[in-house]
Structure formats: C-alpha cells, structure tokens
Structure 1
C-alpha cells in the first residue's frame, strides 16, 4: 500500500473515531498504531523522531486524570467560570422549567426519523368530537361578530350563559371537579373552531383554559383550594383572570414592581398570618368580569415570619375580586376586539397566607409555576388561533378567488393571485402540521417550553402573512368593515396574538435559542450547574467538570465529523428510514441538523456569555431550530394523514420553504458572526458547495393554488374545523353556498365561454344576455340557464360590500353593556 493510500485510510479511521465518539484511549491507540504503521512502511522516515514525542506529550496528559486536570481541564474550568454569564434566579427557574422534546434530537444533529413518524397521532375521542359537532357548532351559531364588536362590545347574554351551561370554561378541569377533562387536541380544536367565527369569543373561551387559576390549581393547588375553586370554575360560577403584566414590566416578569409583605393582619375578625399586597396590573383579559383573580407579585418577609429568607421571590396567589381593597379599572379596547380586558389595582390589600396557590410552602416558587404552565397558552390556545386564521383564510379566499371574476376569468387563475394563494395553502399546511405536532408532548405531560415558544412565535407570524395575502386577494371586499366582512376582524386581531405572553421580538431573540441551547445541549447546562456549585465544593466541581468536559470534547468532534461528511455529500449517503418521496428531505434535514449542532457549539464556545447579548445571532440560530422543528411536523402530519398525492404537493411546498429559510438563517449567521474568519470557516463546513435550496417553484405553487379553487380533499382536510354558516344570509354561508354553486354551474359557464371564443355569442353582452343567447342557440338547457341566473344573483351578493347611512354611528357602539358587566361580577 502506498504512503498516500495509507494516509487516506488513516484519515478515514480518524474520521470514523470522531463520528462514533470513541473514548480517549481508543484515539490514542489509533494514532499510535497509525504512526507505527507509517514508520514500518517508511512513509515518515526520520520525522518519527519528532512525531512520537509529540504523541506522548499530548496522549499521556489526556489519558491520566490528574495530569489532564492539572494541565488542561482545571485551566479550562477557570476560564469557563469567568466567561459564564451572570444568571438571575428567574433566569435559572425559566431554564429549569419544562422539558425538551423532539427539538433536542434536532439540536444535537442526530434526528431519528423513525421515532418521529412513530409518535402517536393526536386524535379526538367520541365524546370530544360530539362536543365539537354539537355544542361548539351551536355556540358559533349564536355569534354575530359585527354585533359583538360594534353594537354591544361584548358577547350576547345567551352566549355567556351557554358557555357556562356547557362548561366551556372547564375544558381542562377533571370530571371529578365537574369539568369536561378534554385532551389538548380537543381544547385546541374548540378554540380553533370558535376562532373562525369570532376572535372575541375565542379569547373569552381560551383564557380560563390557558394560563390562569385552573391550570395553576391543578398542578400546585392544595386539596382545599382545588375542591373549592375548580367546581366553581368548571361551571362558570367563577370567572377567572390572571394578573401578571404591569405598566413597568411587560415580558420581563422578573422586573415586576408589585410586592407583598408577609405580616399579621385581620381577616374575618381574626388575626392571621398573611400578606399585605400592593399591585398595579394592566392588559388583564377578563378582568372587567372576573370574580376570582390569580396574582403574581414579589414576596418579602422582613420579619422572618416564614423562615430565615427575607426575599422570597415571585409568588402566585388566588383571591376573589370583591375582596376589600381590590380595584377593577375601566376597560381596555384591544384593536377593535370585544373581549373583556382591563387593569386591576390594589394598595395594602391584606390576604391570608393560605391564599397562596399551594399554600405557604409555595411562597417564592411562582416564577417556576408560571414557566411550567405557559405551555397551555403557547402550545394550545395561540397556535389554535393562528391555525384558525390560516384555515379560514384558505377556505374563504379559495372560494372567493373562484367566484370573483375579472375579464371573464376567475381571479384565482391569474398568476399574481396564484402566488398568494399558494402561500396561503402552504403556510396553512405548516400551521396545521405544527399545531398538531406541538400537542403531542402536551398530551404526554411533557412541558416542552422550547417547542411551545417556537410554535407561538412562528405560527403567529405565519398567520399574519396568510391574512395579509387573503386581504390582498379580496381587495376592497376585505377592507370595508361591515356585517358581511369575514376577514377584517382576523386582520385586526393579529397584533393581539403576536403580543400575548411577550412580544414576538423577544420570543425570537431571547427565548427560543437562549433557552433551547442550554436545555437541548447534552452537556452545557450540566457544565453551568457545576460552575455555579464551585464555591460550595471546589474539589468536587473540578472533578465533575473534568469528567463531563471529555464527553463534551467527543461530542464536538463527532458533530464536526458528521457535519462535514453530510455537508460534503449534501446528505446523499445518509441512511434513510422514510418513504421514497420523503427521502430527499430526510437527507437534507439531517445534514442541516448536523450543521446546527456544530455551529451552535462553536458559537457557545467562542462567544460564551456574549451570545446571550448577541440577540440577532441567537435569533437566527433559533430560526434554524424552529424551521427544522416545523419541517419535522410537516413530515409527521403527512404520514398521519395517509400520504395522499394531494397532501404531498402541499407538504413538498412547505418542506422546500423550511429548507430555504434554514439555509438563509445559516448564511445570515455566518455573514454576521462576531469573528468573521470563524464565520467563513463555519460556512465552508456547513455549505462547502454554496447554497443548495431555493423557494418553491412557480409550477408547484400553481398546482397547490388550483386545489384551493375546487372542493378537493385537501381543502376539506385543512379547513374541517372552520365554522361555516348554514344559509346564505350568513356571510360565510353565503360564500360557501356560492362556491358550491360555482362548481356545479361551471360546466354550463364553460359552454358559454367557449361559444364566446367561437364568436357565436358577443363578448360585449352582459352575463344575463349571454345566458339568454346560449339558451336560444341550445348551447345550454333551460335548467342550466335558470341555475346560472340564480348563481349570478348570489355571486353579486358575494362580491358586494357593506354600506351605511351617512348618520350611522361608525366607530361607536349604539348600546353599552356596562350594566351587564356589573351583573356578571355579582
């Protein structure tokens, strides 16, 4: 064997050792054996006199623990403790709260695609499906969003009563407490369907079932608290709100100025241990009608009545809103929405200590409680609303683009409109896929904080794009508000969803990768905990760091080898497990996942604590992880839905978009990295042959856009949870009936259009005149003529917009239900 051939073999062996994470002794043996072999065949000659000592100088310290610690890991540990960013108690609790899930596989660069498709499919029970088909359908039929917002500024009385009667507020409450005990899938489906009818009604329904007293009580409440409050919440006897956000603390709940002082006071005529509260909260949904309030505040114990610690931290309590000292302020008006929202204040409000959720033992543990319970809002309610926007826009816009004609052609056939339709279709598929995918860990009681943060950010942003495209296609029909405008309110509501639970800017730049990198990495968080324990146990911490540092080094070497191989081959030789049509994307996503693994490690090693402050870099890494997650969701949904040909067209569009976005996020990261040479080196490792992905083609977009213009299986699948009116007096019923009549009358219309092209019928004639002429020429039958005339009447109603008398009080309500608010509170 020649020297160069042997060298190639040795390089391959070294690559294999890194790829499969062989231990230090195996590396040493491999290098020593290779060096000996090269010497025996005369490939290195006298240079062996230099190479052997070098090998011994490196290998001996690495293989002997005490030497390794003295010359390497102790010094590395000292450096690590210096660059480790400071971390507040709330940051520690936020990182520790919740679990990681599939995103860990993606972050570490080794996703198991067989494991992905083997995950259980989210389904509804017979009881849940019946509730959706009956109670939810009935409730949606009670709602007229125009009257809710522009006339009453509230849900109608009968709707409030129906919500209570049918236990809509108790979907997450177990049956033993009188609730419905629905699965996350059912919870999501209910909110989604109501969201297609009225955003105000959906928000009113979702808040008691999301972040609020019921969720917190179920996980942390005492038995006494559960037994008293949960039955009342389940039946709507109590309407809850949760007060977290204040004027001086929005997304940074750790900065809330609201405080409580542990002290003794009088409650119900007796002196008891309690808390004196002072708080000022705003943006509190359901506050104007709430009868019970959850409150987050900072708790202090200056007299040591609960123990030695004086600064106990964020605490959560539960109290009736009619408790002395609590002031419910006037209503807010969130962007033309009618759901109840307003401020709550209190000064020196005394409550018993056992009003803390979970009792006195849970004092100071509120931040972790909140972080662990955010998954309901982030993972269920907000994704449901976002998907509702997408599904509704898909159904209504596809129908409208078929019915609305320009130059005797349905506008859906114009290429410019097709581009927007394709985006609506592809993003709606992504929304539905991600919605269902995110429900899987929640169903399994996995508090996937990173997965739900990704869902909240990207799904609200995608729904914003979808509703913008829908509005563009509808044109003037979309911007003229009135009883028949079914899009305007959804368009107005988008900033509300995006702002809930923290602005999307912060979710993207701080939460997704910031929390995900630490929790998903197999060693970084453990290294951080070891560093923070150094002062209490220096020797033990140093020994543990040495042990885990070796594992981390092997992890980096493996990621480098794996990423380089997959990048050079663009995943071509990656062993696939998925169906033939999915193999291309399985290979590419595996390559991109490996690229994220090595890029993340290099970023964390070189930037250390500065990465937390490099928000734009952190956000791009978060975009990569998020799009890998959403692409996984698409594959999972495609498998769960039976892998039909229609599905694959839309799934392919969605996967191409995700791959393109991942690529561009990588390039944005490399081109803006703090150390340009390292950025260029990383780009060469991950994309050695340059860019590999482009946006979905026009041809593919045209195919999935055309499927929106027909009553296809994919149309029904993506929009089956939409509420559609039952008659043509309802705006959604009108367009759905118009669409179905368009489909049934299309053959007759095509006959007339062909006759126009043949110049048998004059092009300048009106539609009615063309029909009459076609009837005279026996091109269409009498029945077809009658059906066409009836359709044309309905079509004109579909494209019409609302108008009002000059003195109509636009922008103000003709009735105000202030009295009802007081009645509800009682």
Structure 2
C-alpha cells in the first residue's frame, strides 16, 4: 500500500511539476521527436498551413459531431443562378455539336466563343461590382456539370477561367489597381486568361519549377525602373493558345539586393499581357484528342515592372501559398463537376440502353451480370452528387479545405473512371464506335485528363490526403512540428511540453475507446438519426476513432519515414476519404428529405465505404513494419475481425430497378444530364426509345404471351411479330402503328455510326 502511494506521488510530481516534467520527460522525448521528424522545408510549411480544416478535422480526430455536420446549410442556387441555368446554359447547350467540335473543327465555333464571353461564362466567380456574375461555388459546379454532360470541351473552356487562374488570384490577392483594371476586362470577355504553372520537369512538384525571375534594372515605357527579368518554359497550359493575359509562376531572386537582404525570394506570381514584348504563345497540345485549347508558352529575358506581381511587390515570394490556397478551392469545384456529369450521363443513358437493347428476347438490364455493373454506375453516381454538393458547400462557407478538396478530386475522378468503364462494358459495341451517335466516347477520352491535372491522382492519394491531413487535421501534430522548428530551443521545448500531455491523453482516450467500440461493435455509440441509417453513424464514429489511434501510432513509430512509406500512408488516407464520402452521402440523404427511394443508394454507398475502410485497414496491418504492433492494433480495433461487406445483391437490384424505368428518382439522380430535343440528338433518341418501350409494355407482354401459346411465330424479328399480332387481333391497328414506331426508334437508338469509303 505504501509502495503504491509512493508510486502515485512520484508520478504526480513527474507529471504535475512543469520544470521536473520538462527536464525528465519532455526534453528527452523532444530530442527524439526532432530527430525522427526532420524540419519542414519552407514550401512544405506553407503547404501544410495553407487552407482550412473543416469536417475532415472532426473525422481525423475521432469525434465526429454529426449534429454539427447536419447544421451546415444545404447548398442551393439563388434566383439569378437558376435563371442563368434555365436561360444562358440551355441556350449554350443547344449551340453545341460535340462530335463536330472534337472530330472536325477541333475547336469551339466562333459563335460559341462569342456567346461564352458576352454572357459572362468566364466571369462566374468575379464579383458583380466588377461586371462579373458573382456566382456561388455550388452554381459554378452545377453549371460546369450540366455543360460537361453535353460537351467536355465546352465545360473545360468554361471551368478554367473560374478555377485556378488570374481571376481568382486577383480577387484574393490583387491590388486595388490590378482589380480595377483586369477584373472588368476578364468579366466582359475582352481578355481571356490562362495560368502557367506546369513545365516539362515540374508537374506535381510545382515547388520545383525551374522558371526564374531576377530583380534588376531595365527599361519600361521609356523609363529605367526596377523590375524582373523573366525566363520561363511552360507546358500543358489550358487556354494558352487563345489567352490575352498570362498568369505566370516563377522563382524570384534578388542577387544585387535591390529589394533587401534576401537573395532567394521564392515562388512569385505575376500577370502579363501576352502582347508584351518577348512573351511567346507557342504550339498547341492535343490532349487525348480533345478540342479544348491547351498549349505552351515561353519567354526569354522578358522584362516586367514590379507592380505586375499579383498583389504588388509586397507579395513577392508568397506565390506558393497563394497557389496552394487557390488550387485547393478550385480542385473542389471543377474536376468534381466533370466527374459528376459523367455519372449523371452514364446513369441515365445506360439505364435507357440496358432496357432498349435486347438479347435472347429480354432487355439486357434483366441479366444479373449487367445489373452488377449498372448498380455500380447508379450507386457511385449518387455518391458523386453527394460529394459534389457537400464540397462546393464548404467553399461557399468561405473555406478552402485543402484535405477535403484533395479527397474530392482523387476519389471522384477515379469513380468516374469506374463508371465509364462499366458503361462501356454494358453498351459494348454501341460505345466503341465513334460517331455523332456516341454520347460516351468523348467522356471516356477525357477521363485520363481529369486523373492527371490539378495534382496527379497518384500524388494526391499517396502524399496529399494523409500527409496534409495528418498535420492539419490532427489536434497537436502541426503545433508540435512548429515547436520542433522553433530556432529558440527553450521556447520550442516549452511549447512542446504544453502539447505533450494533451497529446498523450488524446492517444490514451482513443485507445480505450477503440477497444470498447470494438468489443461492443459500436452498439452504444450515439446516432443523430433513427431508422435505417442509424447504424452507419455508429460505425463511422468507430472508424473515426480507429483512424485517430492508428495515425498516432504510425507517426510515433515511423516518424519522418511515414512520408516515404506511401503505400501505408495512402491506406490511412483511404480511411479518411471514405469517412468523408460516407458523411457526404448521409448529409445529402437528410438534406433531400430522407426520401425512401434513396435508401438503396444510401445503403450501397455506406456499405461500400465501410468495406473499403476495412480493406484499407487490413492492408495497413498486413504491411506495417512492426508485426507485434500491427497485430495488437488489429486486435484492439477489430477484436472479432473486420466484418464489413460490400453491398448485397438485393441492394444492387433495387438500384437497377429504380434507374431502369421513368420516375422521380431517375430524374432526380440524373438531373444534370443533357437530353437533346428530338430524335436527331443521340441522348434524345435513346431517351425517347426508352420511354416508348415502357409505354408499350402491355402490348409487348401480350405479344410475348401469344408467342408462347403458339398463336404467332416465335423467334422472329419484332417487326414481323407486331404484324402477325395485329393480324391475329392481339393488338389493334393503332397499337400496331405505335409499336412499329417504337421499334424503329429502338433499332435506331441501338445502331452505331458508319461512314462511307473515303469519308473519314
């Protein structure tokens, strides 16, 4: 008893007396911490600190506040934004012939370019006070999605000026003079912008750009001034071939100390008219055969004044921070919008095609092999729409959530790739023959572009999601890193000491919580909602705790090596990603009134996300360097094994059934899909054939029954069966006429394009 009392007193002194604790506990740990976690570079520090922590912080810290999530406002279009959708966007869609644009002209028609400029499509994010539209992020996303369902070329052309580029950088960082001059010109289309960041040897590692700007004296407008001598060579720059103003990122140096003592100033962004002497707009690229403008730009010894720096001379060297913050917002709008458009188009058209196309006397959508792929299309599309809305909603809260937008960019573009692969499998020959009737091919060609741009997906998954999430979302790690980087060792130790106890308490709380939730299968976790979704909240809370604990253990044991263990860290990033994706689906379901028809889609996404979380954890445990720690962690988190399963077959069948017949759920899930008017448009043709076949079901069933009874011929073309049914009195002459028209539409809808010899 006395020994126990002495032990308690000793522990209380060690932990409760700051000087003793710092000397005997914190200082040795701090020394080891500084060794295993090398100091961050300046660009890494800026990247880690850029952007905002949002719902991702709740998920990473193990205590998601579901009530708080559901209190985020539901994003919706304003009256002006909806009017623009109904008028200008629909007018634009009617002007587009995507096959002609991509395969023949390899450019948008001049009248389309003029319409885009005149109607403010390039000025959606520019405030109304400067002549722009002043639209929200959800409007920007919705407009781009709607256009992309018709023409990827037009969508990319619209999205780029409204994403990372001169307009956004000017709005956030520009001087008043720069804003007053450039923003009205960008808003009314007098100037077309591009932004040059990527070069031949600097893609994902934008911090490694070789392009330089040297502070020197030179002549500008007949006067000798202090300015910048630029040399650059950029590639893959969208809108570069038609741009009139160039945003340029470069490394800035001041060897002669004209601005101060600092020689290496850092990454800087400037705005340069392409008509300026020495600016070269070079060759055009041809990305995957797409027709949007993309090309090169370069310049040698181009002199510009200092006030062309975006934000003026005070923002020299701050370009990397500017780019990371703006890119994180743009990444959450543009590419997710394209991915979602893919889902809307593929869901609607694949549902129609799988009903219209018949084999062995049945619609191919009746075959379970087709249903398995089609359920993925529909299920993932629901998830895409949920993520699109939630992520754009975060940006409309005036946030720049870097981790969330990285999750959205990576997973949504990968989901669109899966959707298009499945749509191609189901459409088969109808999908691979390129021509005016093919509504899938150009989207399929564009998927690798989305995978590659704005942070290549391999980089995004393996470095950004967990790497940035672990430091930004964790309640203590970033502050601990900053303490380790403090040049004043004593001050750094004091900062670290204050964080250490709280970090230890955080880790112990997560440990005991994981064990309890594992033993009870999270049965006692709270859920903000009753009904069929309640169990998902409980399991997601459990997995959130598991992520917090596993991340802590990983950083403790691997330290700086965790950054190089990309396969391990990416799996933890997958856990965080699926927690966010599942959250988005739950919020989307609630925001839309808990529609009963949505439940198969909700079950599909939540079960898929939980199964993927289980798979990610399983892979992490199987490959963690310390086998003892891996086994202990697995037994702690999953004492009875990982029990999550992919969605059951009946859920998949329910999704297929919902999307294979006209109805509210089909219209709601695919509301962004463009459907052309009349039978001349491929989507309009397929939709009309689909509707007429559904309307003819009573007559078609009567004909099928007559064939089985031997009243009319079996296994004959449908045209002959209809004629015989009319003669036998099974259908009336009016019904027969409607059936003949339906069959003509059906045959035309499933037919593919062909070209006369020499036409191609």
TM > 0.5 fold call? yes
The correspondence of residues 457-536 of structure 1 with structure 2, limited to 5 A, is 457-533=410-486, 535=487
Aligned to 1:180: 133
Q: Deviations over 1:649-671 (max 9, x none)?
A: 11111110000000000111111
CA distance in 2, matches of 1:675, 1:579: 41
The structure 2 residue matched to 1:639, chosen from 579, 582, 590, is 590
CA distance in 2, matches of 1:579, 1:274: 64
Counterpart check, 1:592 vs 2:543: yes
Runs of 4+ in 1 over 4 A off after TM superposition: none
TM-score normalised according to structure 2 size: 0.99
Aligned to 2:173: 220
Aligned to 1:620: 571
Larger gyration radius, structure 1 or structure 2: 1
The structure 2 residue matched to 1:449, chosen from 402, 408, 411, is 402
Aligned to 1:90: 43
CA distance in 1, matches of 2:446, 2:715: 43
Task: Give the 3-state SS of the residue equivalent to 1:100 in structure 2.
Answer: coil
CA distance in 2, matches of 1:146, 1:140: 13
CA distance in 2, matches of 1:441, 1:772: 59
Counterpart check, 1:371 vs 2:301: no
Instruction: Report the more deviating stretch, 447-456 or 637-646.
Output: 637-646
Instruction: Report the more deviating stretch, 514-523 or 738-747.
Output: 738-747
CA distance in 2, matches of 1:222, 1:758: 82
CA positional deviation for 1:539: 2.2
Counterpart check, 1:657 vs 2:608: yes
Residues 85 and 610 of structure 1 are in contact (CA less than 8 Å); yes or no, is this contact kept in structure 2? no
Aligned to 1:382: 335
The correspondence of residues 650-689 of structure 1 with structure 2, limited to 5 A, is 650-689=601-640
Task: Give the 3-state SS of the residue equivalent to 1:691 in structure 2.
Answer: coil
CA distance in 1, matches of 2:132, 2:5: 74
CA positional deviation for 1:194: 0.6
The structure 2 residue matched to 1:155, chosen from 102, 108, 118, is 108
CA distance in 2, matches of 1:564, 1:662: 17
CA positional deviation for 1:768: 1.7
Aligned to 2:262: 309
CA distance in 2, matches of 1:581, 1:116: 19
Aligned to 1:244: 197
CA distance in 2, matches of 1:415, 1:702: 8
Aligned to 1:408: 361
Counterpart check, 1:143 vs 2:143: no
CA distance in 1, matches of 2:661, 2:654: 12
CA positional deviation for 1:81: 1.2
CA distance in 2, matches of 1:273, 1:133: 51
RMSD: 1.0
Residues 137 and 723 of structure 1 are in contact (CA less than 8 Å); yes or no, is this contact kept in structure 2? no
CA distance in 2, matches of 1:750, 1:238: 61
Aligned to 2:493: 542
CA positional deviation for 1:365: 0.1
Instruction: Report the more deviating stretch, 762-771 or 723-732.
Output: 762-771
CA positional deviation for 1:741: 1.1
The structure 2 residue matched to 1:710, chosen from 623, 645, 661, is 661
Aligned to 1:337: 290
Aligned to 2:689: 738
The structure 2 residue matched to 1:115, chosen from 68, 86, 108, is 68
CA positional deviation for 1:452: 0.2
CA distance in 2, matches of 1:156, 1:490: 20
CA distance in 1, matches of 2:386, 2:188: 32
Residues 313 and 364 of structure 1 are in contact (CA less than 8 Å); yes or no, is this contact kept in structure 2? yes
Counterpart check, 1:794 vs 2:745: yes
Aligned to 1:164: 117
CA positional deviation for 1:114: 1.4
CA distance in 2, matches of 1:406, 1:644: 34
The structure 1 residue matched to 2:713, chosen from 762, 776, 790, is 762
Q: What 5-or-longer segments of structure 1 have no aligned partner?
A: 1-47, 810-826
CA positional deviation for 1:177: 0.5
Aligned to 1:9: none
Aligned to 1:18: none
Residues 329 and 402 of structure 2 are in contact (CA less than 8 Å); yes or no, is this contact kept in structure 1? no
CA positional deviation for 1:592: 0.7
Task: Give the 3-state SS of the residue equivalent to 1:335 in structure 2.
Answer: helix
CA distance in 2, matches of 1:408, 1:376: 50
Q: Deviations over 1:286-308 (max 9, x none)?
A: 00000000000000001111111
The structure 1 residue matched to 2:53, chosen from 100, 115, 119, is 100
CA distance in 1, matches of 2:255, 2:743: 77
The structure 1 residue matched to 2:380, chosen from 427, 434, 451, is 427
The structure 2 residue matched to 1:126, chosen from 60, 79, 82, is 79
Task: Give the 3-state SS of the residue equivalent to 1:752 in structure 2.
Answer: helix
TM-score normalised according to structure 1 size: 0.91
Q: Deviations over 1:109-155 (max 9, x none)?
A: 11111111221101001111111111111101111111111111100
CA positional deviation for 1:451: 0.3
Counterpart check, 1:285 vs 2:238: yes
Residues 153 and 338 of structure 1 are in contact (CA less than 8 Å); yes or no, is this contact kept in structure 2? yes
CA positional deviation for 1:730: 0.8
Task: Give the 3-state SS of the residue equivalent to 2:454 in structure 1.
Answer: coil
CA distance in 1, matches of 2:68, 2:23: 43
Residues 384 and 435 of structure 1 are in contact (CA less than 8 Å); yes or no, is this contact kept in structure 2? yes
Q: Deviations over 1:162-203 (max 9, x none)?
A: 101111000000011000000111100110011001111110
CA distance in 2, matches of 1:139, 1:667: 49
Q: Deviations over 1:235-284 (max 9, x none)?
A: 11100000000001111011100000001111111111110000000000
CA distance in 2, matches of 1:330, 1:558: 59
Task: Give the 3-state SS of the residue equivalent to 1:723 in structure 2.
Answer: coil
Aligned to 2:272: 319
CA positional deviation for 1:579: 2.7
CA distance in 2, matches of 1:764, 1:69: 87
CA positional deviation for 1:538: 2.3
Q: What 5-or-longer segments of structure 2 have no aligned partner?
A: none
